[in-house]
Amino acid sequence: MMKKRMLKLLFELMKNAKRSDREIAKIIGVSQPTITRMRQRLEKTAIVDYTVIPDWTELGFEIMAMTFVKAKGQPQLSEKANKWAQNNPNVVYAAGGEGMGMDYSIMSFHKNYSDFSSFIDALKKEWAENLQDVQSFLMATGEKKTVKPLSLKYLEKTWADSA
């Protein structure tokens, strides 16, 4: 498992990778040269691949989940749903949409299956009166089944191709 200072640096880079090492050093409470060495170590070991998407397994997350929700009727849930998503640290993305007969999707990360199960139980309990169906697709973050790793760097080519 990664050391606490290294995790703090990683989370600061995920917030804004363009900040200077000096600025991040002040936030974390260490010297600028220490931040520079730590950043270089993260880059060299490929735990960080700028846009700063970390190695989820190194952070202790075994599961990436895509959860799809079918709401009952057309409830006005946006403010409540936004607050719920913002207050749930496992959720990295949540949005309304359509497809597969579902209305919403939630992307979340979990330390293990028990953590995921607790997440789903809490979701169902909190939203019981508004849910018609909940389905999840689980992916093991450390498995060799990954066809293409999660990274935003691939998007640059889509802009170049359409220009």
pLDDT score of 51:
65
What does the pLDDT read at residue 75? 55
pLDDT digits (tens, 9 = 90+) for 95-105: 988 899 998 99
Q: What is the CATH number of domain 63-140?
A: 3.30.70.920
Whether residue 3 has pLDDT greater than 90: no
Q: Are 114 and 61 in contact (CB under 8 A)?
A: no
Report residue 2 as tokens.
Answer: 């990664």
- Residue 152: band (very low, low, confident or very high) from pLDDT cuts 50, 70, 90: low
pLDDT level of residue 127 (50, 70, 90 thresholds): confident
Q: Comparing C-alpha atoms, which of 5, 130, 9, 119 is closest to residue 67? A: 119
Q: Nearest 10 degrees: CA dihedral of 101, 103, 68, 155? A: 110
- Average pLDDT rounded to a whole number, residues 79-88: 87
pLDDT digits (tens, 9 = 90+) for 48-65: 766 667 788 888 999 999
Domain ranges of the chain: 4-54, 63-140
* Distance, CA of 107 to CA of 135 (rounded, Å): 12
- Token code pair at residue 22: 């000096």
Centroid of chain to Cα 4:
19
Q: What pLDDT was estimated at residue 150?
A: 77
CATH 3.40.50 holds for 4-54: no
Residue 160 has pLDDT above 80, yes or no: no
The owner of tokens 């929700």 is: 69
Predicted TM-score (pTM) above 0.75: no
